[in-house]
Structure 1
């Protein structure tokens, strides 16, 4: 029998599964001689040339421009900082479900752990927002293991408030995204982890606003039973409120069941593609770190 709740020790152990992994999309390209090399870290990025001001470093004087204009000009640089990675983690009743391997809420935290440890491996900051149907918890981004631990504890806290599965509530994601709008800063990377089925139309508008100054990726977590109904004869399904008896031996019924999922999944893909937000999916039947590596999120 699978456990309904996540285990902190399991989240900590994932560190060793991604010990040498990093986020593949977090690398910067820099020319070195005649070759292009992968690089990560702090540096100085050129911004502009302007007239010299008191206090400017004389080493940054642009002598060519100064000679041409007969006025002293300085090159202005900005420090190239590591990009904070913010995780937006769903722990709502619609994710409190699993058929064989683990609950979706548990898999979401496993994905958070794999990506979080990999982010720290490459020297970047971690932080984010964890939410359920009752409240949300914000963690300021820092390059500290303690910050990732705070995310884990927030996830476990939100998860422990779940007692039974329920249908998706569009308001949960909407409230989380609106809070996120107030907390994010330009240049940050957002990793959205959740179910997303029944995602609110207004939520796509908030994502579009966030996309103007943040890099966004989304990972949809699903259970195999949500995609395909196996031939089990008479079965009883429940959404946490209502129950329904189905004849799973009916091929036409099973085809219709699978079609409902595919229709909603394709609609979600189209909306995310319109916003240019990469969307991946991870099954509860898969090992989180292994699936992320195969799909190119980890390298």
Structure 2
């Protein structure tokens, strides 16, 4: 009988990330939703300059002043801009987080492994649909950037980088989430589909600004990766925990401590969900007890995209 792999669920293997590739052909619909068949060119979910008029809305910072609707502006006394549906080729960009905070899990795998699996699935779906795929890998060693391409060999290099990052030893001075988002923003073009796969543990003001800038011209999906033990501690008792080298005891006898613990996690989740809702992004929670393939079927995750995100579809 073959011996069990002691690193299974702790480190993402390249062969596993290749094997997880969905077998059915497909791609992404305009708003980032998975669809069964890909027919070539897209009508982009991004609303920008193009051939077909869509609607008028209030002017927002970053809008092209050439699209201002002067008649509506004069009538209402407030600046309004025209929105158009564009036909365009669209890149798919994926950010995979494999930093130290992601090296935790109490169910099937570490958060970093689940994030790697989700990022790989999204990459395979994109390339199967004929999209150019690239992204950013953020790990202990730094930030690795991959420009979007259609080359399967290049995508394999991207997926391998994700796998390798899950095995890198944690070290001091890891890059912040904001830096990785800035890298992916440099790769993005109007109408891009962008997937941020992270636990967002360091979603500070700088990172929020970077995400908001992404959302101005791209369809952004925030995949919030977490472990159930982060959301709520177990009942009273003392439990062993380990980082793979040192074993310690986690004492959770005090109800007040458990309440504060749960509140901190909920505040982080709420911050990501609120940011997504307010900026028209999609919010998808994914925990380590779930099958990563469920991201292709958001209804299984109980996710509720914002009205703005739904309208883009």
Q: Same fold (TM over 0.5)?
A: yes
Secondary structure at 1:282 match in 2: strand
The Cα of 1:296 is off from its aligned counterpart by 7.2
Q: Distance in 1 between matches of 2:270 and 2:248?
A: 26
Distance 1:99 1:39, change over 3 A: closer
Secondary structure at 1:5 match in 2: coil
Are the aligned partners of 1:23 and 1:115 in contact in 2 as well (CA < 8 Å)?
A: no
| Higher mean displacement: 174-183 or 145-154 | 174-183
1:11-63: CA deviations, max 9, x gaps? 11112x452454353479xxxxxxxxx97422897479xxxxxxxxxxxxxxx
Secondary structure at 1:101 match in 2: coil
Q: 1:14-29 to 2 correspondence within 5 Å?
A: 14-15=20-21, 17-24=22-29, 25-26=31-32
Distance 1:221 1:250, change over 3 A: same
Q: Distance in 2 between matches of 1:257 and 1:272?
A: 24
Secondary structure at 1:139 match in 2: strand
Give the one of 8, 12, 19 matched to 2:14. 8
Are the aligned partners of 2:145 and 2:183 in contact in 1 as well (CA < 8 Å)?
A: no
The Cα of 1:189 is off from its aligned counterpart by 1.5
Gaps of at least 5 residues in structure 2 are 1-5, 44-49, 54-85, 302-313
Q: Distance in 2 between matches of 1:230 and 1:295?
A: 27
Secondary structure at 1:295 match in 2: helix
Higher Cα Rg, which structure: 1
Give the number of equivalent residue pairs: 255
Secondary structure at 1:219 match in 2: strand
Secondary structure at 1:88 match in 2: strand
Secondary structure at 1:89 match in 2: strand
Give the one of 283, 286, 292 matched to 2:287. 283
Give the one of 264, 270, 275 matched to 1:271. 275
Are the aligned partners of 1:132 and 1:172 in contact in 2 as well (CA < 8 Å)?
A: no
TM-score scaled by length of structure 2 = 0.70
Aligned: 1:122 with 2:121 = no
| Higher mean displacement: 174-183 or 81-90 | 174-183
The Cα of 1:7 is off from its aligned counterpart by 1.1
2:110: which partner in 1? 103
